[in-house]
Structure 1
Amino acid sequence: MISVKILLVEDEEDLALMIAELLRKELFTVEIAYDGEQAFYYIENTFFDLVILDILLPLADGWAVLQKLRETGSSAPVLMLTALDDVEDKVRGFDLGADDYLVKPFDMRELVARVKSLLRRAVSGEPSHELRVADLVLNTRTREVKRAGQAVHLRRKEYQILNYLMSRKNQVVSKEELEEHIWSEEDFNWSDVLRTHIKNLRAKIDRKHRKKLIKTIRGVGYAISDE
């Protein structure tokens, strides 16, 4: 049986450890991020079935973490855990892709109940961990990529670029947007590096196939499309 993996993003160490211990007693696997940057790292490198996310975090707030999670194509349920009890904050969270809200202070039993409820809803909704464009399939859980049933081996940045494009199937993504999503260093011109990664992706994904999926929109950016 595969354990359910939960990412807990909470900067209050005592509270985070208490929640993690409680969830582990329920046989969940829990990883803790104590700030927004740690959360970014986990999101980019690990699949999670559910995320518990505080808003007021150091380095990057919960809004940025939530937005980053959804930009990766993850459909993992998100439970916002916060001291902010304003309607506008709740609306903002839901607009960014949160699934539920729990305001501090809270009863630990309610937290566990909400986690289980979100997981049940996710299972009943049969969320897909696969992104598909024609015969190209990317599994966000295993990070496996296949074209026409054949495995495609990608480097980390190649995978991130492909994931981002496939999560925006048939949409044009600007070079600036891709660069901002893939690289955090703002004071460097990543255009040449991005072009190299796109060239490598084309070689691995399109070269052996008549139907080309990765498209360059001259002067704008890139798209992945089955049209």
Structure 2
Amino acid sequence: MPHILLVEDDKRLSRLIATGLLEQDMDISFAYDGEKAYELASTEYFDLIITDIIVPIKNGLEFCKEIKALKPNIPVIMLTALGTTDDKLTGFDSGADDYLTKPFEMRELIARVKVLLKRFLPENRLTSSILKYDGLEMDLKLKTIHRDGIIIKLTPKEFNLMQFLLENPERVLSRAEIAENVWETRFDTGTNFIDVYINYIRKKIDKDFETKLIHTKLGMGFILKKGYEDHL
């Protein structure tokens, strides 16, 4: 499912927007100020960002400029009460891909989100038969994976687990989330089968390479990320 970052300091409105997006099978993360939004967007993977302009600490325009400089391919929708032509031009100049003024209809926001996700298909990892991340390349049609040109042999279950990590790069995935998406079952806290399989693929993906990509976030889960520091 697409992963959306919602930046809105009005928590009531934030919940309403999130409800509408969740009904469209979209995964939502929240930020209530621009500084937190940048922290999340710079360290995690998002398919799209929706941000108000008037948010605390760092406004939406500053946040948009900074995240677009870091990740230019991530689409951003400005959602704000500032609706003059000059306001819209300022928003687009900051890097926004779309601009929707309040009040708005939820179905219009959803339609614009879907249009942007479709427009950015070349960069959208969920719609391609090829998944890539820092030298790793997985072909979903041929069921092959290699790193820096070296073929890596995985069992079918290891392949599915690695696919889920590649579909969610730079995002901490809990054991429960992995169990539900890879094993289609609820996670039993009395077992360590997910840790065992993570160890299997870590040996195959990372062992012979200087840069490690699969890391453990203590007490939270696992993350596919280059140069991650808080790990085992």
TM-score (norm 1): 0.57
Match of 2:64 among 63, 66, 88: 66
What SS does structure 1 have at the residue aligned with 2:123? coil
Residue correspondence of structure 1 range 152-167 to structure 2 within 5 A: 152-153=211-212, 155-156=227-228
Contact 2:4 2:47 in 1 (8 A): yes
* Alpha-carbon distance, 1:96 to partner: 2.1
The letter of the residue matching 2:123 is P
* Structure 1, gaps ≥5 residues long: 158-227
Question: How many angstroms apart in 1 are the aligned matches of 2:104 and 2:93?
Answer: 23
Share of identical aligned residues, percent? Answer: 39
Counterpart in the other structure of 1:121:
119
Counterpart in the other structure of 2:32:
34
Residue 128 and residue 26 in structure 1: after superposition, are their counterparts in 2 closer, same or farther (change >3 A)? closer
Match of 2:41 among 40, 43, 55: 43
Counterpart in the other structure of 1:220:
none
Residue correspondence of structure 1 range 85-100 to structure 2 within 5 A: 85-100=83-98
1:39-96 superposed Cα distances (whole Å, 9 cap, x missing partner) = 0221122110000010000111001110121122241111100001122221122122
Aligned length: 149
1:4-63 superposed Cα distances (whole Å, 9 cap, x missing partner) = 100000111100000001100110000111111220221122110000010000111001
Counterpart in the other structure of 1:77:
75
Counterpart in the other structure of 1:7:
5
Counterpart in the other structure of 1:142:
169
Q: Does 1:107 align with 2:125?
A: no
Counterpart in the other structure of 2:192:
none
Contact 2:21 2:110 in 1 (8 A): yes
The letter of the residue matching 1:50 is L
The letter of the residue matching 2:70 is T
TM-score (norm 2): 0.56
* Structure 2, gaps ≥5 residues long: 126-131, 135-147, 149-165, 171-204, 213-225
Cα RMSD of the aligned pairs, angstroms, is 3.2
Question: How many angstroms apart in 2 are the aligned matches of 1:120 and 1:40?
Answer: 24
